Amino acid sequence: MGDSPTGPANAITDVPGVRVGHVTVWRGDEGSGDPVLRTGVTAIWPHDGDPFMERVYAAVSPFNGYGVLTGDLVVDEWGLLGSPIVLCNTANLGAAVDGTIRAMTAANPAVGRDDVCIPVVGECDDGYLNDNRAFGVTAADVALALSSAHDGAVSEGAVGAGTGMQLFDWKGGIGTASRMVNVGGRDYTIGILVNANFGARRQFRLGGRPLGRMLSSDMPVRHREGSCIGVLATDLPLHPSQLRRLARRMDIGLGLTGSVGNDGSGEVFLAFSTAQRVPRDAGDGHLTIEVAVEGQFWTRGSPFDDIFGAVVEASEEAVLNALCTADTVEGRQGHRLVGFPVAEALALL
């Protein structure tokens, strides 16, 4: 869909060096007497090195701010990302922070000695299906998600942090997509990953059509508002202010699927560039920042128009991929979210 071609895996991992790992926590059934857990962890490494020692330029943009992304103040202040990005559910935010710090401390003796690790962890609420009071995610789950991360194809739907998420009152979760853009004769990649957990059925749109109003069967017993954490990776050489402009365009991608940034939903987006690594020890302290283009030359035809378009396309598709790949899941108290009726939707289109 759209004007820009996808990368080979159509995933955030098409950006060289980016890796993704999932751990799914699925235990218990209603009536078993055990807590019903439908949750998990998703981890994203920004490059194939140690982000604590080699940070990357980054920026954060909230669409609706009812949510938490730890470390966002550091990213805003310095324009740097110095940790992997971990996604989890709201109730286990503390466990994810603890697990990320412990994993990075174990991997590098400089962590906690030369400087502290301030991890970037984003949360969405999966409490409609998951028993939040059971605190099902552990530091070991986080460590496994980090250590199992890989490039190539990324599992989508009800997996990892997306296991218990809802999307327009259907089952939601993890979605990813990528687009290629050509700037100055060179090809670059933009990759998006979302944990999609937002929207009411009546708001859903596909191809500009209000299909949510036509697909009213299999509604959950009640609507539970959620959130969306979105991560954008690119190998375009961009500084933090430019990356913030890209992160903001993810709002439009969600909007094309019907999101209006509901009052009780936290849409928070982070964008980073792998083009340059910023070492903690830079010798004389001077770094040269390369940028793809400055934005003020729009009267000549700015390549940012194509870049923005690619971000919107990949963001929209990442949400739709999450919707179309997530299967029906039953959780606590018999709550159930059904998978999106792809065939019925295509017939309506």
pLDDT at 289 over 90: no
Residue 298 pLDDT > 80, yes or no?
A: no
Collect all residues with Cβ–Cβ distance below 8 Å to 163 and sequence separation of at least 6. Answer: 24, 25, 26, 38, 39, 40, 126, 129, 130, 173, 329
Considering 61, 265, 273, 315, which one is annotated as catalytic? 265
Q: What's the CA gap between 262 and 31, in Å, rounded?
A: 34
Q: Which domains does the chain have, with CATH numbers?
A: 12-281+288-327 (3.60.70.12)
Closest CA to 194 of 257, 112, 135, 288: 257
pLDDT in tens, 29-74: 988 889 999 999 999 999 999 999 999 999 999 999 999 999 999 9
| Euclidean distance between CA atoms 222 and 199, whole angstroms | 13
Q: Is the dihedral of CA 202, 208, 214, 218 positive or negative?
A: negative
pLDDT above 90 (res 301)? no
**Predicted local distance difference test score (pLDDT) of residue 3:** 85
Q: Taking residues 256-283, report their average pLDDT.
A: 93
Give first-to-last CA distance, the chain, whole Å: 15
**Neighbour tally for 173: CB within 10 Å:** 33
Q: Would residue 227 show up in a list of annotated catalytic residues for this protein?
A: yes
pTM: 0.96
- Of the candidates 61, 83, 227, 259, the residue annotated as catalytic is 227
Catalytic site residue from 267, 313, 316, 317: 267
Question: What integer pLDDT is reported at residue 82 of this predicted model?
Answer: 97
32 is catalytic: no
pLDDT tens, residue by residue, 86-145:
999 999 999 999 999 999 999 999 999 999 999 999 999 999 999 999 999 999 999 999
HSE-up of 144 (CA within 13 Å, CB side)?
A: 12
147 flagged as catalytic: no
Compute the distance between CA of residue 134 and CA of residue 264 in angstroms, rounded to an integer.
Answer: 23
- Residue 300 or residue 74, greater confidence: 74
- When pLDDT is averaged across residues 140-169 and rounded to a whole number, the result is 98
* pLDDT higher than 80, residue 300: no
